[in-house]
Amino acid sequence: MDWSSLISNKRLGQEMRHTERHDDRSEFKRDYDRLIFSAPFRRLQNKTQVFPLPGSVFVHNRLTHSLEVASVGMSLGNDVEAALRDRASFTCTPSLGTIVATACLAHDMGNPPFGHSGEKAIQAFFSEGEGQSLKGTLSQSMWDDITHFEGNANAFRLLTHRFQGRREGGFVMTYSTLASIVKYPYLSSQCTPEHPKFGFFHTEEATYKKIARELGLLRPDGSAMRHPLVYLVEAADDICYEIMDIEDSHKLGLLSTEKTLELLLQFFDEGAQRDIKNRIEREHIEDYNEQVVYLRASVIGKLENECAAAFLRHESEILQGTFQGSLIEHISPREREAYKECSKVAFRHIYKSKPVLDIELGGYNIIETLLQRLTRAVINPDRFYSKQLLSRVSSQYEINAPDLDTRIMAVLDFISGMTDVFALDFYQKINGTSLPIV
């Protein structure tokens, strides 16, 4: 791979024409603005990140998480670009920070309601639930996609698919931005138990291959390499996901102040720890929440620097497509072990906590019920109830397509685009437990 071909402002759906621009924004900044002002991005404010949507204590949802990831991603891209500019071979226009930040905004846009339990509910419905009856009726490629349903692949579909009434190219994003969100550049049929995730549905395979070919991501055997900027997007997500969950857990009382400060201080050597404690004392930061906020910011800054340095150390391997693992796995030993400890604590005390399990169990049941009703309806569209139910589905989804593969995919498009609140409301209405009062 070569940076000169990896950074392209060619737009999906507008390859043969160029629209005259009347302002000074770069094409990559246009991508960023397009996502910020989009309805699917706005809906992230009502989708679960880890904890249930906030009550009296505000914790992260998908929107705030995505904005924070984009902020870290911008810093990573800018830092890497600043270092690369010292090399005569790097002649790209300033853009890496904006591309990475935009991909960070998009990275969760394909996730269904209720966090990761929404993905699991879709997978399980077809692999072990009522949807098993469709095996053999649907194409093998479609079956592979839905039994491994993946939010990452759905984000690529959301941005590139031409839904009914929409323009060619979906969001009409630049090639480089689109390639930067594909963490797993292969199909669901290539998934393994060790690598259960994939990057695009078979319906978007041709689109991805066209982008990959243009950017020089394809190997001689036809397989694709990750776009280098994917590693920065992944690092920004890794940093924010783990560290911000620790802060949220402290706010919710799942972790004590003592334990939280201990987890965050371990990222620093003894001298740096003394400096941090002295500054907290010198600036009279007596509120425990503010102490956690200060330490969290320090940790994120350190991890961002470490990941940028890891990218630059391994740039040649990344460009050759031989780099293994994530950047967070290649940072300095102290920081890497501290990150691992945060992950262990998060798994034990956060992801298995009662509030998280409650939302996962409830969300799983809601998604399963919606899938049951809607798949039955598209399988038997001429029945009275089916017609009534399908009339509630937005016209942008191909719910009346002649082939069942497309109709089932339209069901998943509809459900995955829901917010938590909309999914709950729709579930209650079709079950008759919430009716409009006239």
Give pLDDT tens digits for 41-83. Answer: 999 988 876 554 445 445 678 898 999 999 999 999 999 999 9
The Cα–Cα gap between 233 and 183 comes to 9
The Cα–Cα gap between 280 and 278 comes to 5
Whether 110 contacts 155, CB under 8 Å:
yes
Task: Give the DSSP letter string of 223-235.
Answer: -BPPPHHHHHHHH
Name the nearest CA neighbour of 81 among 89, 92, 72. Answer: 92
Name the nearest CA neighbour of 266 among 298, 228, 225. Answer: 298
Which band of pLDDT confidence, cut at 50, 70 and 90, is reported for residue 200? very high
Which band of pLDDT confidence, cut at 50, 70 and 90, is reported for residue 193? confident
Per-residue confidence (pLDDT) for residue 204, from 0 to 100? 97
The number of C-alpha atoms within 13 Å of 398 and in the hemisphere containing its C-beta is 14
Per-residue confidence (pLDDT) for residue 16, from 0 to 100? 77
Per-residue confidence (pLDDT) for residue 88, from 0 to 100? 62
Whether 99 contacts 173, CB under 8 Å:
no
Q: How much is the average pLDDT of 7-16?
A: 89
The Cα–Cα gap between 381 and 378 comes to 5
Q: How much is the average pLDDT of 152-171?
A: 93
Per-residue confidence (pLDDT) for residue 90, from 0 to 100? 72
DSSP 36: H
Counting residues of the chain whose pLDDT is more than 90, the rounded percentage is: 69
Whether 80 contacts 7, CB under 8 Å:
no
Partners of 224 in beta bridges = 218
Whether 102 contacts 35, CB under 8 Å:
yes
Which pLDDT tens digit goes with each residue over 390-423? 999 999 999 999 999 999 999 999 999 999 989 9
Which band of pLDDT confidence, cut at 50, 70 and 90, is reported for residue 22? low
For tokens 């740096």, name the residue: 272
- The amino acid present at 125, given as its one-letter code, is F
Structure tokens at 79: 């830092």
Per-residue confidence (pLDDT) for residue 21, from 0 to 100? 64
The Cα–Cα gap between 112 and 360 comes to 12
Per-residue confidence (pLDDT) for residue 313, from 0 to 100? 96
Report the 10 Å Cβ neighbour count for 371. Answer: 23
Per-residue confidence (pLDDT) for residue 35, from 0 to 100? 96
- Taken in order 19, 22, 25, 31, the sign of the CA dihedral is negative
Name the nearest CA neighbour of 422 among 53, 123, 16, 129. Answer: 53
Per-residue confidence (pLDDT) for residue 413, from 0 to 100? 97
- Taken in order 250, 256, 257, 263, the sign of the CA dihedral is negative
Res 87 pLDDT > 80: no
Per-residue confidence (pLDDT) for residue 349, from 0 to 100? 74
Determine which of 15-24, 26-35, 43-52, 91-100 has the lowest per-residue pLDDT on average: 15-24
Q: How much is the average pLDDT of 351-380?
A: 87
Determine which of 17-31, 68-82, 135-149 has the lowest per-residue pLDDT on average: 17-31
Whether 35 contacts 106, CB under 8 Å:
yes
Which band of pLDDT confidence, cut at 50, 70 and 90, is reported for residue 277? confident
At 52, phi and psi to the nearest 5?
A: -55, 155
Determine which of 166-170, 203-207, 209-213, 351-355 has the lowest per-residue pLDDT on average: 351-355
For tokens 């996502």, name the residue: 35
Per-residue confidence (pLDDT) for residue 251, from 0 to 100? 82
The number of C-alpha atoms within 13 Å of 401 and in the hemisphere containing its C-beta is 15
Per-residue confidence (pLDDT) for residue 284, from 0 to 100? 78
The Cα–Cα gap between 163 and 208 comes to 17
Whether 274 contacts 265, CB under 8 Å:
no
Name the nearest CA neighbour of 349 among 249, 257, 437, 273. Answer: 249
Per-residue confidence (pLDDT) for residue 437, from 0 to 100? 60
105: exposed, middle or buried (C-beta count within 10 Å: 0-12, 13-18, 19+)? buried
Name the nearest CA neighbour of 249 among 108, 114, 343, 113. Answer: 343
In terms of pTM, does the model score above 0.85? Answer: yes
Which band of pLDDT confidence, cut at 50, 70 and 90, is reported for residue 117? confident
Mean pLDDT over all residues of the chain?
A: 90
Name the nearest CA neighbour of 150 among 179, 124, 183, 111. Answer: 111
- Taken in order 387, 388, 389, 394, the sign of the CA dihedral is positive
The Cα–Cα gap between 198 and 220 comes to 21
Counting residues of the chain whose pLDDT is more than 70, the rounded percentage is: 94
Name the nearest CA neighbour of 315 among 73, 103, 89. Answer: 89
Which pLDDT tens digit goes with each residue over 229-250? 999 999 999 999 889 888 888 8
The Cα–Cα gap between 298 and 295 comes to 5
Res 94 pLDDT > 80: no
DSSP H stretches of helix in 12-61: 27-36, 39-42
Q: How much is the average pLDDT of 22-43?
A: 90
Sorted by sequence, the CB contacts under 8 Å of residue 306 that are 6+ apart come out as: 331, 332, 335
